[in-house]
Amino acid sequence: MSALLGRDLLSSADLARAEYERVFATATELKREFGETRRHAAQPLAGRNVALIFEKQSLRTRVTFEAGLNQLGGNALHLGEGIGFGVRESVSDIAHNLERWIDGIVIRTFDHSIATELADEAKIPVFNALTDDEHPFQALADLLAMREHFGSLEGRVLTFVGDGNNVYHSLALAGAVLGMEIRLAHPVGFGPNPTIIARAEKLAAANGGQIVFGRDPRELAPGSDALYTDVWVSMGQEEQSHARLAAFAGYTIDSELLAVAGPQTVAMHCLPAHRGQEIATDVLDGPRSLALEQAENRLHVQKAYLLESLGR
């Protein structure tokens, strides 16, 4: 029986190293089979239903969860605004109803505590499709893409350039568990959540990883295996756009920064991208970009996790 059976995935700190390896192995097998025939011979999730609750916009996460469930024989139920999540009915009442009918819940919301409350209340697994604090399936897809490119993760250096946001938090936690060095170059006032970083530092110390901070991307870039960036204005921060665009000037991943990093360095972005802001178009579309591999891997890691958690 899989150690992941029935398990939520709310934070990148929820998985131990062996569990990351297990998800990577299952994802790799699913990716191979899907790559050959664009379908899976077995339909292990036949008869299983998973609700998708999205309180923020999404392309990749929404499509890959829905398509992934369908490809494995399962069914995705989109619960749109019609359910009045937490407004018409409390989070706990929704959890206690859903668990009577279906097998799992995917949620993209603002406050991370809403996802944890849903998971605490529901007897069925809850999968974090992005909160203000974390994006664990993104980190799984990203680190699988790095593993495929470099052959291994332990000791690899990923330098995140820009905002210490949800995507960075999950990469820091996952990288720490996997014994990587995760650097962050960020301007004053846009650092990560100290509680999450304390957790990442503890995990890094236990697993041979390292969490490193700096201001100047040019100082942190040399020796990096990957330069990673994300938008400067995350969903929910739109009213801070003006201040953020000013603060992040100089934090663009461009061909100059990639050259400073080294000939081995790849460029990574979770997408959607703002070309010309956090990443230059020639880098995003260039031969050293892993962005579309990362996006593709969302499908494979999520299918793998759904299989492990919901049972084959």
Cα separations in angstroms, 265 against 125, 168, 220? 37, 18, 13
Residue 138 falls in the annotated catalytic set: yes
125 near 104, Cβ under 8 Å? yes
Count of CB atoms situated within 10 Å of the CB of 151: 8
Write out the binding residues for ligand NVA, residues 124-183 only, by CB under 6 A: 130, 165-167
Q: Is 292 in the site for ligand CP (CB under 6 A)?
A: no
Q: Cis bond leading into 44, ω under 30°?
A: no
- Min CB(56)–ligand NVA separation in Å: 7
Cα separations in angstroms, 26 against 1, 2, 233? 14, 11, 34
What would the two tokens of residue 300 be? 């494979």
* CA gap 45, 70 in Å, rounded: 8
Q: Which residue in 8, 142, 163, 230 is the catalytic one? A: 230
Residue 230 falls in the annotated catalytic set: yes
Q: Is 278 in the site for ligand NVA (CB under 6 A)?
A: no
* CA gap 45, 24 in Å, rounded: 19
Choose from ligand CP, ligand NVA, none: what does 16 bind? Cβ within 5-8 Å by kind: none
175/179 with CB nearer ligand CP: 175
Q: Is 58 in the site for ligand CP (CB under 6 A)?
A: yes
Residue choice 11, 12, 26, 61 for contact with ligand CP (CB under 6 A): 61
Q: Which residue in 135, 169, 186, 269 is the catalytic one? A: 135
Sign of CA dihedral 32, 54, 127, 208: positive
Letters for 229-268 (x = contact with ligand NVA by CB under 6 A, - = none) are -xx--xx---------------------------------
Q: Is 234 in the site for ligand CP (CB under 6 A)?
A: no
Name 183's bridge partners: 159, 212
Burial class of 150 by CB neighbour count within 10 A (0 to 12, 13 to 18, 19+): middle
Closest alpha carbon to 114 in 99, 94, 140? 94
Residue at 22: amino acid letter: R
Choose from ligand CP, ligand NVA, none: what does 265 bind? Cβ within 5-8 Å by kind: none
Span of 54-62, 185-193, 239-247, 302-310 interacting with ligand CP by CB under 6 A? 54-62
Write out the binding residues for ligand NVA, residues 33-62 only, by CB under 6 A: none
Residue choice 270, 290, 291, 301 for contact with ligand NVA (CB under 6 A): 270
- Min CB(272)–ligand CP separation in Å: 6
User: Which residues contact ligand NVA (rule: CB under 6 A)?
Assistant: 130, 165-167, 230-231, 234-235, 270
**Interacting residues toward ligand CP by CB under 6 A:** 58-62, 130, 138, 270-272
| Residues with catalytic roles | 108, 135, 138, 230, 270, 298
